[in-house]
Chains A and B, each alone.
Chain A
Amino acid sequence: MGEPAEPGEPVAALAEPAGSGRAGAWARLTANRMTSVGLAVLGLLLALTALAPVLPLADPDATDLSRHLLPPFSEGAWLGTDQFGRDLLSRLVWGTRVSLGVGLAATLAAALVGATIGLLAAYYGRLVDTLLMRGIDTVLAFPYLLLALAIVAALGPSLLNALMAIAIVNVPFFARAVRGQALAIKNLDYIAAARLSGFSDARIILTEILPNVFPVVVVTMATTLSWMILETAGLSFLGLGAQPPTADLGSMLGNGRELVHRAPWVAVLPGVVILLLAVGINLVSDGVRDVLDPRLKSGVLVRPAALTARRLPDAASAAVSAAPAPALGPDLVLSVRGLSTRFEVGGRVLKAVEDVSFDISRGETLGLVGESGSGKSVTALSLAGLVASPPGVMVKGEVWLNGGSGGPIDLARADLATLQAIRGGRIAYIFQDPLSALNPVLRAGEQVAETLVRHRGLGRGAAMAEAVRLLDAVKLPGAREKARAFPHELSGGQRQRVMIAMALANRPDLLIADEPTTALDVTTQQRVLALLDELRRETGAALLFISHDFAVIGDLCDRVAVMYAGQIVEQGSAAALFARPAHPYTERLLQCVPDLKAPHDVTAIPNLPPAVDRLPPGCSFAPRCHRATQACREAPIALRALDGDHAARCLYAEEVAAGTAAPAGAPAHG
């Protein structure tokens, strides 16, 4: 009761199976096991009550005082009799018929009146809307049952009045839902067109708007039907609904309450039947909602786990990799080898990150650049097992973190406790949008202090003092007061400074900044970047800097890796890569940045990157590449070393780097 539209029970369906029309809806409805159970229960009860007149039942109202209060399983009365000797089985079946009928009638009445109010309010707007919706709000300001009681009090106890009272208190739910939906479609072009062509209001409402709000009405009916059955039965239970000799399930329960000391069995079954009805209706209504309510289709709620799921070749073996730790140079902080992360959505597999390898040394800045969706963020999150999962799964690769007291650790195989000690400690993250990345109900200082308490074991007071010092160090003006502010009270730049303070709090070996300035305005961007660079130099942390902005990358990074469709397509020192791009994609990106000092968006390339579940068999850039040849499309292209640590994933890398034209005779497109 009283649930606002709640995201439905997520039913094992991340991807909506294709299916359209009525048959499709029915198939989707019955595809859910729980809904089928509900349909079966309801079908059984409906059949039983529909058949009541032809079933061999005793007359439900025939009294026989010589047979009063017989217990169940008596001769001729399976469920026993009540105090007047009436057959309880027969009364139960007929009572169910009455309760169902009344509940359905109340639902239809509420739907009709509520939908009318909602449509009128939405269509005419202004004063009509204000008046109607104020009235509706006032009805909702009453405790649900209480207004129904007041109405019955005025009209007098009877089944019809109870029905009306329950219908009236449910009208607001329909009016609100319908109004919302009608408002959403009212201003659409075709409605406006109908108006201009002189259709009458009534015709527009009935033929254009009503069909579109109909699903909302059905969903609301499905949700409210069980309450209406429960509440009409409740009024009858109180003696304010069905009057003798008519019996519904509620009045039978009322009678059972009076007899509870002498014949406790009388009250059992009517309640069970109401319960079954309500369970059945609730199961079906959840199913109906999932099928009909478009808002819920997209947002299937899945809780991401604390650690990305893994299906690594030797993950089963132990917390520590079965592969022997490689010999890593003393300056190496992180060595990623063959990392592959996928999203498994429904039956589809999206290769978000495919065979990515790179190293970062102490004090070095590696830039990871690419369009959105190229896999750079997923790569960054994979390092500490932070990819949302489901749907993320790490399927291959090693992530060696070097320099700890116990030698290198493979983070891809480390257990959660190990990772939790490293997250926020030796590896720290700065995320893109500090407004959503900071907790809205905790003070800025607390959020910084938290990580100090966790990793340095400081007490609360000491941690808060240190947090203020850190906020000061990131040049947050008035750090002491700002520490007491909530994130929404800070500006975008200030919030990002809080994020940076949080990340640097425990002097990490590796700082991962995922588009740290994208959400900020241009001037703030420059200042935050300068700060980040300065602090990195001071602390000596290695920095993995992710951006789609080549200009920023050029300013900041020693080395650059370019990602396209989940793969690194070119890698090398910033100098080499900017001077002699060896992959046509990099080349194009750089052409988009005429002035490296001006921020520029790499998405300014024609065509979209391919969807990562529909990659072409050969080079994934081929569909957009002006040099593509038949050879490019035949087999996957390997990342080849050129000179020094410069490498590219292109058959014609040397030609591209040398700036020579596409090989003669090769078709440019096709």
Chain B
Amino acid sequence: MLAYIVKRLLQAVPVLIGISIIVFLVMSVIPGNQATALLGAFATPENVAALNETLRLDEPIPVQYFAWLGGVLQGDFGQAYSLGRPVADELAGRIGPTFLLAGTALLLCTVFGLLAGSAAAVRQYGWTDRILSLLVLVGISTPSFWLGIMAIVLFSLTLGWFPTGDMYSLFGGGGLLDLLWHLTLPALTLAVVATGVVARLTRANMLEVLRQDYVRTARAKGLPERTVIGRHAFRNALVAMVPIIGIQAGFVIGGAVYIEEVFQWPGLGRMLVTAISQRDILLVQGGVMVVATAFVLINLTADVVQALLDPRVRER
């Protein structure tokens, strides 16, 4: 098992290098004078000179890349000019809220998606299946940013059950209950689309597994359906679902950008949107790099969990 983890970690290294190259390249294809573009409204002569110095903008691209990467590896993403503080400091404060939101949503979509998908598969073509399939169709077709606004209109403005947003800091007074109260609507909204996808794929996987010979063996042993489905079928379907859930994490993190905007959530997503409209490129670069790295690590974790569930995976 340890060997497997080490192997997967080593495989992640080239992926991370690839990601850093793409992030770097995207930022260096900006048309016009780079320093001026990167600085935007803050392009004072001193700033331009300082930036040229730190990013080595007058040197060839590979040199620039390694200079940038060297900084990133030491946690130095440069200066966020629109905020007047280092990018790293800004990121540090924003990561927590985003991961709380996305993590909760991922948990919700995993639990509900697996349950709904299995229920639909077990009652294939029954009413449960039809209703769930319809819900899933609507779920994966719904723009989450719209759903969030509708949730605010209904649950906040009309019923007054939940706040419309106004989360300023995670632990700034209010305590855990207050946090959950603020988290409910955004997390549920964010989970909807992913729940639909997970449910749909769980159903397909369960149907596939239920046709397998070992399910017939389990039935031939006289095991009750509860055991056949829960122990024999679901565990195998889960093995296939774990990496899919890892991939869903990427969509959830992406969707969090919308949800943070709708609910004014103080996370990386809103930071990115503001940074893009103010063209604070270094801040965008840092944010994208951090989130993409997190995504790679999440998928790695998913692979390890899959290997724990299925001994065959370890030996691949």
Task: State the A residues within 8 Å of B (CB).
Answer: 1-4, 6-7, 9-10, 134-135, 137-139, 141-147, 149-157, 226, 230, 233-234, 237-240, 250, 253, 256-257, 260-261, 264, 267-268, 270-271, 274-275, 278-279, 281-283, 301-304, 306, 384, 386, 388, 419-425, 428-429, 431, 433, 436-442, 450-451, 454-455, 486, 488-489, 499, 502
Contact = CB atoms under 8 A, between A and B. Distances in A.
A356 B213 CA distance: 25
A499 B18 CA distance: 48
Contact of A234 (B122, B258, B295): B258
B72 to A, nearest CB: 15
Contacts of B215: 304
A264 B249 CA distance: 31
A421 B220 contact: no
Contacts of B288: 142, 146-147, 149-150
Contacts, number: 272
B296 A141 contact: yes
Interface of B: 15, 18-19, 21-23, 26-27, 29-30, 121-122, 124, 133, 137-138, 140-143, 145-147, 149-150, 152-153, 157, 164, 193, 197, 200-201, 204, 206-208, 210-225, 227-228, 231-232, 235-236, 239, 244, 247-251, 253-255, 257-258, 261-262, 272-273, 275-277, 279, 281, 284-285, 288, 291-292, 295-296, 299, 309-312, 315
A150 B254 contact: no
Contacts of B133: 9
Nearest to A452: B221
B146 A450 contact: no
A260 B157 contact: yes
B15 A282 contact: no
A257 B149 contact: yes
Contact of A141 (B18, B149, B206, B311): B18
A151 B23 CA distance: 9
Given A6-B201, A256-B149, A439 B157 contact: no
Contact of A439 (B121, B224, B232, B291): B232
B220 A428 contact: yes
A303 B124 CA distance: 7
B contacts with A: majority SS: helix
A651 B257 CA distance: 80
Nearest to B261: A238
A424 B276 contact: no
Contacts of B213: 431, 433, 436-437
B259 to A, nearest CB: 11
Given A9-B133, A240-B276, A253 B140 contact: no
Nearest to B254: A145
Contact of A274 (B146, B164, B227, B312): B146
A420 B15 CA distance: 51
A13 to B, nearest CB: 13
A274 B146 CA distance: 9
A172 B226 CA distance: 41
Contact of B236 (A278, A282, A421, A440): A440
Contact of B250 (A143, A157, A424, A433): A143
B284 A153 contact: yes
A439 B30 CA distance: 55
Nearest to A38: B137
B39 to A, nearest CB: 14
Contacts of B276: 149, 152-153, 157, 240
